[in-house]
Amino acid sequence: MSIRILQLHKRSSYEYKYIQDRYALNSTDKIFALADGTTQSFNSELWAEIITKNFVNNPIFEPFNLIFKLKEIVQTYKNVEFSFSTNPAKASLERAKQSKGGTATFIGLHLKEENKAEIISCGDTNLFLITPDYKIKTFPFSDINGIDSNNHFINTEVLLKDGIDETFFKSTSITYNNNDIIILATDALSRLLLKRPDTIKELLNIQSFEGLLNLCLKKWESKELEEDDISAIIIPIGSTSDIKLICPPNEFQFPKEMEIDFSPTILTPQIENPNSNMEMKEIKNQFDGVAKDMHYVKSKLNLHEILLIVTISLLMVNMLMMYLLRPKSNLSITDKTTTEIEKKYEKAKEEIQVVKNKITGGSNLDLAKKKNQVIETKTNNISKKEAKKRQQELIKGGYKVVADGIWGSQSEKAWQIYQLKKEKK
């Protein structure tokens, strides 16, 4: 059994020359590489070809060293001259794509001695190892969820900006038997084999282009297979000397879709452009790529919206807590100010009353008389020093005193009672 390379372009590309998948192999050293150029990037088929050819000539399985090598070969990709379209709209799209660089996924395999194999990959291209009893081992993805969650690609511009690191790559070593078969497949075919493992038997039985075409058309029509370029390398480990390429012949192309456009009356004859259909298809592919990018951006924005809502909620809670727990010093100051105003009001009221009494005339004489009586009562022919001394003794004896330094009739009575009790003792 010989090594078989199966390739078929997607129907929207019409011709095999527009396929963006590339492969390379070194049958002598048993080194294989497969890369899938992405539709939305610039000249991706060229970048995929450069990656695969360089790998089979110099296989590297350490991610750090491989990244360093890929940076070197980016210049080879940039040095290739590209003829832009004569259509201004298409040329503008091509220049916009060129500024973003070429992008591709990649998987490399080296079958070594002692039944060991080294594998390294980046992206959603997958490996399947099939035993004679049809037990299947896969790498790097074992289910649809894993392959769909991939967001790693090798992009020329990102490489030059050091935006690709070891986490973009997955590598491993596996053991095999001489009767085993290995399949390297690009993403669309890998998804089909993961969802429908029984399809592997159909794939292994393909020996001609008609068989490959019938399988793809059947799976495309049933929506089991994604409409994309299809590429696979089937490697029977026990026999790797012969190589058989199964791909469309030169005269094959998918039927072109009939496009109906509204056209107003044309006064001058219109020259048909044979490349117009391909230009329109290229523009459609551009829009498809933009749609995929928008879907990716939308998924990221959903996460950002959630984080923004949480942040705003926390800020609102923080402001509410600051309001509820604010210091009440302002209220104390207000209360203190109110008390001082009330005291000033009472004082002013008393002063007004005094002025009023002065105006009334006779009342002032009564106040003077009362004041003289109080003074006489306070002193009662006793000095203030003596009054204070007696008050201290009365306090020691348990008597209440009217006021410090004031001696009246009540104080005199208390003093006499105090002296009588003192004499009886």
Nearest by Cα to 155 from 92, 212, 220, 101: 101
For residue 88, give both structure tokens. Answer: 């201004």
Residue pair 23/5 in contact (Cβ under 8 Å)? The answer is yes
Q: How confident is the model at residue 361 (pLDDT cuts 50, 70, 90)?
A: low
pTM over 0.85, yes/no: no
SS3 129: strand
Q: How confident is the model at residue 364 (pLDDT cuts 50, 70, 90)?
A: very low
Residue pair 339/346 in contact (Cβ under 8 Å)? The answer is no
Q: How confident is the model at residue 323 (pLDDT cuts 50, 70, 90)?
A: confident
The conformational region for residue 223 under phi > 0 = left, psi -120 to 50 = alpha, else beta, is left
Across the range 254-263, mean pLDDT stands at: 65
- Does residue 375 surpass a pLDDT of 50? no
- Does residue 338 surpass a pLDDT of 80? no
Distance between CA atoms of 53 and 65, rounded to whole angstroms?
Answer: 17
What was the pLDDT predicted at 1? Answer: 72
Nearest by Cα to 5 from 266, 350, 242: 242
DSSP β-bridge partners for residue 5? 233, 245
Across the range 287-314, mean pLDDT stands at: 75
Nearest by Cα to 405 from 425, 382, 424: 382
| Omega cis (within 30) before 327 | no
Strand ranges (E), 9-168: 21-26, 31-37, 103-111, 116-122, 126-130, 136-139, 154-155
Residue pair 21/36 in contact (Cβ under 8 Å)? The answer is yes
SS3 188: helix
- Give the residue ranges of DSSP H helices in 254-362: 276-324, 329-360
Distance between CA atoms of 411 and 408, rounded to whole angstroms?
Answer: 5
pLDDT in tens, 147-206: 999 999 999 999 999 999 999 999 999 999 999 999 999 999 999 999 999 999 999 999
- Does residue 360 surpass a pLDDT of 50? yes
Identify the burial level of 71 via C-beta atoms within 10 angstroms of its C-beta, where 0-12 means exposed, 13-18 middle and 19 or more buried. Answer: middle
> What element of type H or E holds 6?
strand 3-8
Q: With the C-alpha atoms ordered 233, 239, 240, 244, is the resulting torsion angle positive or negative?
A: negative
Nearest by Cα to 124 from 103, 109, 146: 146
DSSP β-bridge partners for residue 120? 108, 171
For residue 24, give both structure tokens. Answer: 């390379």
Strands 230-236, 136-139: pairing kind: unpaired
For each of the domains in the chain, give its residue range(s) and CATH number, in order of start. Answer: 3-246 (3.60.40.10), 362-425 (no CATH)
Select the more confidently predicted residue: 385 or 11: 11
Across the range 4-11, mean pLDDT stands at: 96
Distance between CA atoms of 379 and 368, rounded to whole angstroms?
Answer: 17
What was the pLDDT predicted at 85? Answer: 86
Window from 2-6, 17-21, 392-396 with minimum mean pLDDT: 392-396
What was the pLDDT predicted at 335? Answer: 55
Select the more confidently predicted residue: 291 or 225: 225
- Does residue 121 surpass a pLDDT of 90? yes
